[in-house]
Amino acid sequence: MNRIGLLNKLWEFQNKFGYISENAIAQIAQKLSVSKIEIEGVVSFYHFFHRQPTGKYLIYLNNSIVSEFKGFQQIKAAFEKETGCTFGSYDENPLFSLFETSCIGLSDQEPAALINFYPFTHLTPEKVKTIIQQLKNGNSLSFISSNPTSKIQYIPADNKTIFFRKYEMGIALKKLKNHTPNEILNLISVANLEGRGGAFFPTAKKWKSCKQSDSVKKYIICNADEGEPGTFKDKSLLNNLPGLIIEGMIVAAYITGATNGFIYLRAEYSYLLEKIENTLREFQTNNLLGNDILGIPKFNFNIQIQVGAGAYVCGEELALIESLEGKRGEPRIKKYFPTEYGYLGYSTIVNNVETFAMASRIIELGTNFISTIGTKESKGTKVLSISGDVAKPGIYEIEWGMTVKEILHLCQATSPYFVQISGPSGICINNTEFDRKICKEDLICGGSIMVFNNFRSITKILENYTQFFKEESCGICTPCRAGNQILHEKIKKIKKGICTAQDLEEIKEWGKIMKLTSRCGLGHFSANTLVMALDKFEGYFNQKIIKANENLNVEFDMEAAVYNYDSLIKDTQ
């Protein structure tokens, strides 16, 4: 066993024993010749690894904001009532252990939970009762679990659809035979493909850099660690078109000369594992993976799947690489691009699921076709996951340039008020901005739109986001680790109703400091929505703030401050 296999080894223990014991850690540490604390550090970084015994059924209930608005609290109470366990505690129940988890990619079917990584969607207290009863009766999980497939609600006209059109294995790859790697790279470059994970870095530039690297080995990594709350578009691609993604990776390998690839699949999507593995096997049988692919001499490429273990920050490419290497998923300092110094120090390409799928379609459909679709800067279509207060949540493939209003109309949003674009680390917009277009020229979108109507509490939304970042920060740099905690204190103040205009000003200033000083994107953007919302929903916050007593200038709630004392005295009398 070596270090890069650490995550898999830990999964073995976790799956077999329900937790990773002191003994297991000692064993692994000895094998790897590292100190126990180092293994402990890795284990404790990922929230699906446990250090104490758990029950036979591990229940992870999603606590993202969409879930919260769809009845999270009742479902949580129902689970506790039916199982007799408490969320987040190791109460030695032999059957059940309950935990909250951040978004599991089922925002269109909330409230949702994973039980031993089998999905259960559209939960109601009654449904929970039935499920727990069935499990107690020993019914098999695969039998009673829900179908997690997200409904594809909309695709453009046939001549404008790119992703969700007919697919046959090898549809893009067969074109490789007649073109040199340079020609293929040129196609990607002409089509102006940009990273669809949300950073929109020019793909051709990244691939070219890897191609030109003289690294002895090269790696292609597909980032399927879609952790941004409210996002499930990659899941739909992995579920419907796994082959298309794999072809994209093979195209990248053809261009760069990489010999090995990884799909870093988030553990929340474990139920897709079998499907992807089967597809990989089919590719191998058809000589589309392995050695001398397509009969092209020395074109060798293999793909492995690595299952993550629950860490949002691993969606950051440098953190993902660290995680693949069997370490804590902490972003490296941005000294080198992964194409210069990536996985194990070799030149590495990390791209999002959708980027690879798009690359395949570019090769298959040709750049002429693609160039007729979309706007000047954003070519083609975009897969969006839409959730929240809409009648038709699910997957939408839209042509770049569609307005927010059109989208809201399509998904039948009911009195939309607060719309979150690209998840909590993206931006929020108000109803004056609904004419904005989803494209690079105007409103760029990584793939998620969450719609909230005017009955929803903005404070609740923002608190949920901040809580999420507070827990999911990797903890390596001060501004992100401490900053999100500090901002949470401010939000608590808003909730308590003792927030002044001064407090809101401070939130803005502090957000700026976090943005300026954080180490990676998580810290750069975690205060974004909060700061933005203060301006965009000024009316709402003006009602929230109170004019402090002029003389004192600060608002203080003395009653709340003596509450503990009063109740203690009452209890001990």
Partner 1 sequence: MKNCSFKIDGRVCTAEKGLNLIEAAKQNGVFIPTLCHFKHLYPLGTCRVCTIKLNGKSAAGCTVHVADGMDIEVNTPELLDTRKAILEMMFVEGNHFCPSCEKSGDCPMQNLGYETGIKYTRFPHLFIDRITDARPKRIVVNQNRCIKCRRCIEEVKTFDGYKVFYSVNKGNKTMVSIDYEQEAKLSELQAAHAMQICPTGSILVKGKSFSKPFGDRLFDAVNEEKMLPVNGLKKHRTTAKKKIVATTSLAGCFGCHMSMLDVDLGILDLFEVIEFNKSPLTDIKNFTKHCDIGLVEGGCCNTHNIEVLREFRKNCDILVSVGECAIWGGLPAMRNTFPLEECLKESYLDSMTSEENETIIPNHEDIPKILNKVYANHEIVKIDHHIPGCPPDANHIWNVVKHILFQEEYSIMHPKYKYD
Residues that bind partner 1 (CB under 8 A): 33-38, 40-41, 44-45, 311, 313, 328, 330, 333-335, 470-479, 481-486, 489-490, 506, 510, 513, 516-519, 551-554, 556, 558, 560-566, 568-569, 572-573
Q: What minimum distance in Å lies between the beta carbon of 485 and partner 1?
A: 5
Helices 125-136 and 72-83: crossing angle, nearest 10°? 30
The residue (of 245 and 309) whose beta carbon lies closer to partner 1 is 309
Q: What minimum distance in Å lies between the beta carbon of 447 and partner 1?
A: 24
Give the C-alpha separation, 204 to 206, whole Å.
5
Give the C-alpha separation, 100 to 84, whole Å.
16
Token pair for residue 2?
A: 């070596």
Q: What minimum distance in Å lies between the beta carbon of 551 and partner 1?
A: 6
The residue (of 142 and 553) whose beta carbon lies closer to partner 1 is 553
The residue (of 277 and 471) whose beta carbon lies closer to partner 1 is 471
Q: Please, are residues 306 and 189 in contact by the beta-carbon 8 Å criterion?
A: no
Residues in the chain: 573
- The owner of tokens 């009398």 is 573
Q: What minimum distance in Å lies between the beta carbon of 564 and partner 1?
A: 4
The residue (of 392 and 492) whose beta carbon lies closer to partner 1 is 492
Q: What minimum distance in Å lies between the beta carbon of 521 and partner 1?
A: 14
The residue among 52, 58, 67, 62 whose CA lies nearest residue 22 is 52
Going by DSSP bridges, is the β-strand pair 113-115/118-120 parallel, antiparallel, or unpaired? Answer: antiparallel
Q: Where are the beta strands (DSSP E) in 11-161?
A: 57-62, 96-101, 113-115, 118-120, 152-154
Identify how many contiguous H helices and E strands the chain contains and give both numbers. 23, 14
Buried b (16+ CB within 10 A) or exposed e, 439-473: bbebbbbbbbbbbbeeebebbebbbbbbbbbbebb
Token pair for residue 341?
A: 């110094």
The residue (of 442 and 503) whose beta carbon lies closer to partner 1 is 503
Q: What minimum distance in Å lies between the beta carbon of 39 and partner 1?
A: 9
The residue (of 272 and 314) whose beta carbon lies closer to partner 1 is 314
Strand-pair partners of 306: 264
Q: What minimum distance in Å lies between the beta carbon of 65 and partner 1?
A: 18
Strand-pair partners of 285: none
Token pair for residue 562?
A: 């003596």
The residue (of 43 and 204) whose beta carbon lies closer to partner 1 is 43
Q: What minimum distance in Å lies between the beta carbon of 42 and partner 1?
A: 9
The residue (of 328 and 379) whose beta carbon lies closer to partner 1 is 328
The residue (of 282 and 471) whose beta carbon lies closer to partner 1 is 471
For residue 550, what are the CA distances in angstroms to 143, 286, 460, 524, 544?
A: 65, 78, 29, 36, 18
The residue (of 296 and 344) whose beta carbon lies closer to partner 1 is 344
Q: Please, are residues 532 and 327 in contact by the beta-carbon 8 Å criterion?
A: no
Q: What minimum distance in Å lies between the beta carbon of 496 and partner 1?
A: 13
The residue (of 147 and 553) whose beta carbon lies closer to partner 1 is 553
Q: What minimum distance in Å lies between the beta carbon of 326 and partner 1?
A: 14
Residue 249: count of CB within 10 angstroms of its CB: 26
Q: What minimum distance in Å lies between the beta carbon of 401 and partner 1?
A: 30
Three-state DSSP string of 512-546: HHHHHHCCCHHHHHCCHHHHHHHHHCHHHHHHHCC
The residue among 95, 169, 181, 74 whose CA lies nearest residue 139 is 95
Say which DSSP state 176 is in: G
Q: What minimum distance in Å lies between the beta carbon of 38 and partner 1?
A: 5
Rg of the chain, C-alpha, whole Å: 24
Q: What minimum distance in Å lies between the beta carbon of 429 and partner 1?
A: 26
Say which DSSP state 228 is in: S
The residue (of 140 and 485) whose beta carbon lies closer to partner 1 is 485
Residue type, 143: F
Give the C-alpha separation, 497 to 154, whole Å.
42
The residue (of 358 and 491) whose beta carbon lies closer to partner 1 is 491
Q: What minimum distance in Å lies between the beta carbon of 157 and partner 1?
A: 43
The residue among 69, 16, 37 whose CA lies nearest residue 454 is 69
Cα-Cα-Cα-Cα dihedral sign, residues 196, 385, 315, 7: negative
Bond from prior residue into 229 cis (ω within 30 degrees of 0): no
Q: At 438, which helix (H) or strand (E)?
A: none
Cα-Cα-Cα-Cα dihedral sign, residues 101, 105, 110, 112: negative
The residue (of 486 and 532) whose beta carbon lies closer to partner 1 is 486
